[in-house]
């Protein structure tokens, strides 16, 4: 079981699947009101219904983190329904590997817009909530889902890795701004995890390479990452688990 999470209000991006969805479900089961953000409305509605059937409280908010107007509208919807937010999880992300010399600028742009700028847009939309919650003596958390790819170079994943290195660095930098105001920043760097993330790869060889890795080392589950989010955010507010690197034991 976790410390006290009940009564908190969370915004979770990437909540349509994978780690974001699992995190939403686990936090809701702990008594957290959860706003679910992603692009696929049906997925969010389905998850919200599941959470409510389990006795939780959830709000499905269709949003694209690559669009400022979409994020502004989502923030307005969250605020008008739930009021102040005290827990933000940036899990939205895309992974589109290809050799850099293929020059897939469309993929580079999409990864940068989603993984870096998208997270920044969400941070900007909810920073004043986190700061105000902390000033009121409540626990306030920003959790960024980065990747082991922020540290380990992997062929064909240069741009994805660069976006995750940027996110990890952003977490460190934000800690210098938010920490003194009692807002905690937790950066999680998972290894191979069984989600939909690899499903957007349009290169058969690289898709096969990823499948081979799953076969060779196994994978973590989304629920295992959600467990870490719940653990880190339920510590006493003066304790910051800054950096969680979590890999399947067999992953090199
Ligand atoms: P999923 O693909 O299952 O989840 C990604 C989520 O992001 C989806 O729910 C998707 O929903 C949402 N999303 C994508 N683009 C946007 C957008 N423009 N606006 C809003 N939401 C968006 O994969 P994971 O759960 O694995 O990914 C979660 C995070 O974990 C990502 O940041 C990923 O990089 C990171 N990660 C994953 C690892 C793994 O092995 N799986 C390892 C290390 C890190 P929708 O399409 O409906 O918008």
pLDDT at position 239 over 90: yes
Residues 199-210: pLDDT tens digits?
999 899 999 999
What residues are labeled active site? 160
Distance 131 CA to ligand 1 centre (A): 26
Q: Ligand 1 within 6 A of 187 CB?
A: no
Mutate to test the pocket of ligand 1, among 11, 13, 14 (most ligand atoms within 8 A of CB): 14
Q: Ligand 1 within 6 A of 145 CB?
A: yes
Is the Cα torsion angle 108, 109, 112, 115 positive or negative in sign? Answer: negative
Q: 130, exposed or middle or buried, with CB in 10 Å at 0-12, 13-18, 19+?
A: buried
Q: Whats the size of the chain, residue-wise?
A: 252
CA distance 215 to 217: 6
Bridge partners, residue 243, by sequence = 187
pLDDT band per the 50, 70, 90 thresholds, residue 1: confident
3-state secondary structure 45-60: HHHHHHHHHCCCCEEE
The 10 Å Cβ neighbour count of residue 81 is 13
Which residue's CA is the nearest one to ligand 1's atom 24?
18
Q: Ligand 1 within 6 A of 138 CB?
A: no
- What pLDDT score does 250 carry? 95
Q: Ligand 1 within 6 A of 17 CB?
A: yes
Distance 170 CA to ligand 1 centre (A): 18
Q: Ligand 1 within 6 A of 196 CB?
A: yes
Fold for the domain defined by 9-246: Rossmann fold (3.40.50)
- What pLDDT score does 4 carry? 87
Residues 91-147: pLDDT tens digits?
999 999 999 999 999 999 999 999 999 999 999 999 999 999 999 999 999 999 999
Which residue's CA is the nearest one to ligand 1's atom 44?
147
Distance 2 CA to ligand 1 centre (A): 25
CA distance 233 to 39: 25
Domain ranges of the chain: 9-246
pLDDT at position 71 over 80: yes
| Of 5, 14, 9, residue with least CA distance to 82 | 9
Average pLDDT over residues 209-234: 96
Provide the mean pLDDT of the chain.
Answer: 97
Distance 44 CA to ligand 1 centre (A): 14
- Whether residue 216 contacts residue 166, with contact meaning beta carbons closer than 8 Å, is answered with no
Distance 180 CA to ligand 1 centre (A): 30
- pTM of the predicted structure, to 2 decimals: 0.98
């Amino acid at each position: 079981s976790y410390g006290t999470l009940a009564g908190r209000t969370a915004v979770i991006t990437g909540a349509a699947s994978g780690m974001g969805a699992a995190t939403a479900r686990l936090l809701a089961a702990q008594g957290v009101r959860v706003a679910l953000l992603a692009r696929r409305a049906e997925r969010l509605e389905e998850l919200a219904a599941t959470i409510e059937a389990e006795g939780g409280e959830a709000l499905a908010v269709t949003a694209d983190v690559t669009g400022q107007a979409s994020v502004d509208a989502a923030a307005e919807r969250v605020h008008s329904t739930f009021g102040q937010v005290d827990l933000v999880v940036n899990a939205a992300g895309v992974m589109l590997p290809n050799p850099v010399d293929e020059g897939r600028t469309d993929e580079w742009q999409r990864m940068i817009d989603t993984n870096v700028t998208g997270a920044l847009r969400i941070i900007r939309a909810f920073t004043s909530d986190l700061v105000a919650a902390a000033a009121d003596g409540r626990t306030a958390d920003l959790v960024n889902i980065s990747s082991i790819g922020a540290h380990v170079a992997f062929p064909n994943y240069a741009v994805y890795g660069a976006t995750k290195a940027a996110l990890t660095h952003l977490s460190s930098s934000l800690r210098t701004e938010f920490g003194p105001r009692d807002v905690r920043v937790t950066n999680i760097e998972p290894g191979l995890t069984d989600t939909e993330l690899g499903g957007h790869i349009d290169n058969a060889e690289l898709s096969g390479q990823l499948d081979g890795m799953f076969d060779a080392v196994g994978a973590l589950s989304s629920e295992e990452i959600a467990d870490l989010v719940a653990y880190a955010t339920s510590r006493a507010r003066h304790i910051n688990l800054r950096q969680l690197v979590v890999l399947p034991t067999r992953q090199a």
